[in-house]
Amino acid sequence: MQLKIMPKKKRLSAGRVPLILFLCQTISALEVPLDLVQPPTITHQSPKDYIIDPRENIVIQCEAKGKPPPSFSWTRNGTHFDIDKDPLVTMKPDSGTLIINIMSEGKAETYEGVYQCTARNERGAAISNNIVIRPSRSPLWTKEKLEPITLQNGQPLVLPCRPPIGLPPAIIFWMDNSFQRLPQSERVSQGLNGDLYFSNVLPEDTREDYICYARFNHTQTIQQKQPISLKVISVDELNDTIAANLSDTEFYGAKSSRERPPTFLTPEGNASHKEELRGNVLSLECIAEGLPTPLIYWIKEDGTLPTNRTVYRNFQKTLQIIQVSEADSGNYQCIAKNALGAIHHTISVTVKAAPYWIMAPQNLVLSPGEDGTLICRANGNPKPRISWLTNGVPIEIAPDDPSRRIDGDTIIFSNVQERSSAVYQCNASNEYGYLLANAFVNVLAEPPRILTSANTLYQVIANRPAFLDCAFFGSPLPTIEWFKGAKGSALHEDIYVFHENGTLEIPVAQKDNTGTYTCVARNKLGTAKNEVHVEVKDPTRIIEQPEYAVVQRGSTVSFECRVKHDHTLIATVTWLKDNGELPNDERFTVAKDHLVVTDVRDDDGGTYTCVANTTLDDVSASAVLSVVAPTPTPAPIYDVPNPPFDLELTSQLDTSVQLSWTPGDDNNSPITKFIIEYEDAMHEAGLWHHQAEVSGTQTTAQLKLSPYVNYSFRVMAENSIGRSLPSEASEQYQTKAAEPDKNPTAVEGLGSEPDNLVITWKPLNGFESNGPGLQYKVSWRQKDGDDEWTSVVVANVSKYIVSGTPTFVPYLIKVQALNVVGFAPEPAVVMGHSGEDLPMVAPGNVRVNVVNSTLAEVHWDPVPLKSIRGHLQGYRIYYWKAQSSSQRNRRHIEKKILTFQGSKTHGMLPGLEPFSHYTLNVRVVNGKGEGPASPDRAFSTPEGVPSAPSSLKIVNPTLDSLTLEWDPPSHPNGLLTEYTLKYQPINSTHELGPLIDLKIPANKTRWTLKNLNFSTRYKFYFYAQTSVGPGSQITEEAVTTVDEAMASRQVDIATQGWFIGLMCAVALLILILLIVCFIRRNKGGKYPVKEKEDAHADPEIQPMKEDDGTFGEYSDAEDHKPLKKGSRTPSDRTVKKEDSDDSLVDYGEGVNGQFNEDGSFIGQYSGKKEKEPAEGNESSEAPSPVNAMNSFV
């Protein structure tokens, strides 16, 4: 594939100029070879305003080229200037330059006027600018008598200069009789008009030779004003002077020299006006008097002063803005301030502009039949008027040419022929000046030719760019193709850069780029080619660099510098000291790879640089030599380094700067590295950031900079002990503004309302803005539509709201940063959604499958995605238990909620109450909220086992009967079929007797047991049953009463002394036994009582539950054992009711409870877990001593 080079094209807005015409015009960048026919071109001319030295001959230049060579003629003051009639005027051969010989005779004033040169041949005529000839003038001062000035100490003074008007204006300065410039300060200074201003005079101002000088550079002459005498005296001296010399002394007032606020000496009044032309230097001046001496400050009322173009002179009294432009117009305020007050003066500045080019017309080479354009665009203030001439004649009266058409500032050519060749002049003028440009139209038919010398050899260094020239010409404009090698392999634009002038650029030359390259130029009339050769050389490198050295006086130091270079090149090594030549001293010895300095002295300290040069490149490396005194007698003190100093900024570019410094004392520990930090005074004043680190042997660093930052730098040194204090900050350096190089991050698009789109982003900080006027271009369009991007530019904010959007529509969004310079790179596109609205449709086909008495499974059909109108969050089930007739008067129905995330279409409802009626509905949920509910769906849970009876009490104990009273279960969980009562006696040795089983009808709440043993403890087990099975049991213990006769006998025995002694002995034995058991238990053994208790297992084992396969609950261990000696039942005769089998801890989290795919529950259940009262009755009786005795015997 051959890659054709066409000149690069600039983009034009629609409707400017047809593209084909622009392509033809690009040949204007090519020089027409002088052997081809072409109209004249002015190559050199004198300046428009030409001030001549009247003592020398007048030379008015006018040079031109063309084929055939042009002839020249002149006009003077608008009429033909016949040089043949003036013997003093001659024209140089083959040139239009005039020489007027006024040195032999004649006067320069005779030849003042406006001259214009015309160069003409058969193809057209070119004209020069109007050249205004004026002789320079350096007039003398008018004679005047200057009286001596006597002035009181502290008063203001203005010494007038009033120089004569010369051409060009004179340069003014004040000196004394010895030609020494008079010292100036904030108190004494020279104004722009040449006058010398004193804010207040002091006795040392007394002198007799204040002389104003005017220097006229053009004639190299200096004119002198008469000396002015000034005497400054005190008040007392002033009175004496007045009395003695009043008749011949000018008196400047007798006011006291007390301190006073400022007043302006110049300009006068509170406001003034200044007009300046674009491109000139705007000079504004304010000089004030006062005591103490006022200081001057400047501000711009409606903006800031341009940092890079503002210069303060004359001790801040003169403000200068270089290269002034229309943007500098406005009100400038100078403020004079001292300790007693301040005043200000406002200067209104208007910047006008002489015409300046926007697009000057360019020479146009066309082939017969082609089209083209000449464009002449200029600007100015006021707007300049554009007029066209052809061959020096106004185009309105020039011969008609059917191939051209004038459209304002553009001449359009169509189907040109050879007769269309001519020179066109464009004149842009306003009241402040004019511009004149010549541009020819040359109609040629020429085959291509290559102007670059054949077989040129290009030698380049590897990893650097190489530029291969191929200057060409042809008409029509040729296309350029490049080939490499004998076989003509094509070159591709992804590796090479092709310039519109035919040059081939190799951006990064490598060894494999060596070879022969062929440039081929083609047009319809022929082909031309040229070969050039490329050799890529290895770069020169310093492989062993000189290192930082600290040596003692009188010792020897050596700096290494080993260089590696391309073997085909010759390298030379030069050593420099402090960027100058080495001292001419035999102590300095330069060998092949090193520099040796013997007998080192203090003045040998400095920076030594090794520079290696070849014909193609050079490289350098530097090291600092520090000379110290011989080792001191005291032991060295090791410490962190002293701070670096003498920071200096050099090589100041837009994106980099070189920082250099002088290291501080290393305090006997070599510096290992330098740390460089920067401060951005514009955006984060006072905050220092890390910039770079360099080796401890370096004292310079090339720092990369960001645009639009007001940099200051500081350096810290570090050694093995630690880090030094920071150096003093460097001078400030503000980089130019540039377009942002990044865009805001975290771009999101979310709607806050159904009809809007809220676009948010993380803004750039001040450092990242790269320039003033940071804004954002926010763009959006619907993702699934064909709409164009809609864009808006907003201020430096972080949010923009798009209104009137459809509900929940995907949008493509991008946010691009921009500032006054330009735009950041094209931003990434992210997707967002406009605002959500509530879902419109309820889930359908809701189905309930009851799994067991406490668990149900719900299924539903998903709703259509379009009806969700938002991000699907999931589905939510509301369910509640139907109220009984006794509960219907309650206002609030407790509804439970479970949410299932995502697109699930089923879920599990745990923790249901058996034998209950429930109602549920399902709703879809998005980010805005819930949709409508599905129709209510009712379902019922089957029976389950009941809970334990709410309470069990034993009342009315007798000798042989006990009466039991109970409350039904709080949760019957079905229809009760019967109660089961089981009981058994407990003897005096705590052994359980036979278990008796008794069935009691379900409608009973009281039952009396008869034919029981007197004075006997019984344990009762009581539970209810449904058709599903038995529920949880409740236990209780009680004792029948004692026979009165036995009780009386026992009382009598208990009152006997022997019985009391026996009981004390028994108590002592029991105490000993307890101590022995405690010791044995600590050793891990079992005591007999424990073994006996463990032998008594609960005679009743609960059956397995039928509904969930779990074992029934057992009572506490204490419930299965008889009461031990001294035990107590709860005082309220209640027992704890057993909890429900279905624990919601395993299921969910209330409203947000969720299930896994298999229906298992995640989180916590939202419904309130009802705590069941655990009321029960246990005997509170303890065995009496009589009973204890009976048990013992």
Contact 680, 765 (CB under 8 A): no
Dihedral, CA atoms, 689, 691, 695, 699, nearest 10 degrees? -100
Give Cβ neighbours of residue 139 (< 8 Å, ≥ 6 apart): 164, 165, 166, 223
Question: What's the distance, CA 424 to chain centroid?
Answer: 52
Residue with tokens 């001439």: 389
Give Cβ neighbours of residue 200 (< 8 Å, ≥ 6 apart): 154, 155, 156, 187, 257, 289, 290, 291, 292, 293
Evaluated on CA atoms 1074, 1077, 1081, 1082, the torsion sign reads positive
CA atoms within 13 A on the CB side of 810: 10
Q: How far apart are CA 973 and CA 915, in angstroms?
A: 5
CA distances from 365 to 34, 370, 399, 524, 1029 (A): 14, 10, 21, 15, 113
Q: How far apart are CA 342 and CA 335, in angstroms?
A: 7
Contact 160, 195 (CB under 8 A): yes
In the chain, count H helices and then E strands: 7, 89
pLDDT beneath 50: ranges in the chain: 1-29, 247-256, 885-886, 888, 1047, 1049-1051, 1085-1193
pLDDT value of residue 1094: 47
* N- to C-terminal Cα separation, the chain: 125
Q: How many CB atoms lie within 10 A of CB 919?
A: 15
Residue with tokens 């995502």: 902
Contact 898, 1166 (CB under 8 A): yes
Q: If you ran DSSP here, which 8-state letter would residue 823 be given? A: B
User: How are strands ordered across the β-sheet holding 58-60?
Assistant: 58-60, 98-100, 89-91
Q: Summarize pLDDT for 680-721 with one digit per residue, the tens.
A: 988 888 899 999 999 999 999 999 998 999 999 999 999 999
Q: How far apart are CA 477 and CA 524, in angstroms?
A: 9
CA distances from 466 to 57, 535, 963 (A): 49, 10, 117
Q: How far apart are CA 668 and CA 719, in angstroms?
A: 9
Of 1094, 1115, 1113, give the one whose Cα is nearest residue 1105: 1113
pLDDT value of residue 1056: 65
Contact 624, 706 (CB under 8 A): no
For 14, list phi and psi in degrees, rounded to 5: -60, 140
Contact 449, 392 (CB under 8 A): no
For 606, list phi and psi in degrees, rounded to 5: 150, -165
Token pair listed for 1159: 């229906």
Beta bridge partners of 319: 284, 312
What DSSP assignment string belongs to 1084-1131? T---HHHHHHHH---S--PPBPTTT-PBPPPPPGGGGSPPPTT----T
Give Cβ neighbours of residue 764 (< 8 Å, ≥ 6 apart): 740, 742, 744, 774, 817
Q: How far apart are CA 93 and CA 770, in angstroms?
A: 58
pLDDT value of residue 1188: 36
**Computed over its alpha carbons, how large is the radius of gyration of the chain?**
55
Of 138, 139, 89, 141, give the one whose Cα is nearest residue 110: 89
Query: What are the start-end ranges of the H helices in 657-708?
Result: none
Q: Is 569 exposed, middle or buried (0-12, 13-18, 19+ CB in 10 A)?
A: middle
Contact 992, 953 (CB under 8 A): no
Token pair listed for 222: 């200096």
User: Percent of the chain having pLDDT more than 70?
Assistant: 84
pLDDT value of residue 250: 46
Evaluated on CA atoms 385, 389, 394, 400, the torsion sign reads negative
Q: If you ran DSSP here, which 8-state letter would residue 946 be given? A: P
Q: Coil, strand, or helix at residue 1044?
A: helix
| Whether residue 583 has a cis bond before it, omega within 30° of 0 | no
Q: How far apart are CA 828 and CA 810, in angstroms?
A: 16
Q: How far apart are CA 280 and CA 525, in angstroms?
A: 50
Evaluated on CA atoms 792, 796, 801, 803, the torsion sign reads negative
For 295, list phi and psi in degrees, rounded to 5: -105, 150
Token pair listed for 129: 């600018």
Q: Is 1142 exposed, middle or buried (0-12, 13-18, 19+ CB in 10 A)?
A: buried
Q: Coil, strand, or helix at residue 793?
A: strand
Question: What's the distance, CA 389 to chain centroid?
Answer: 54
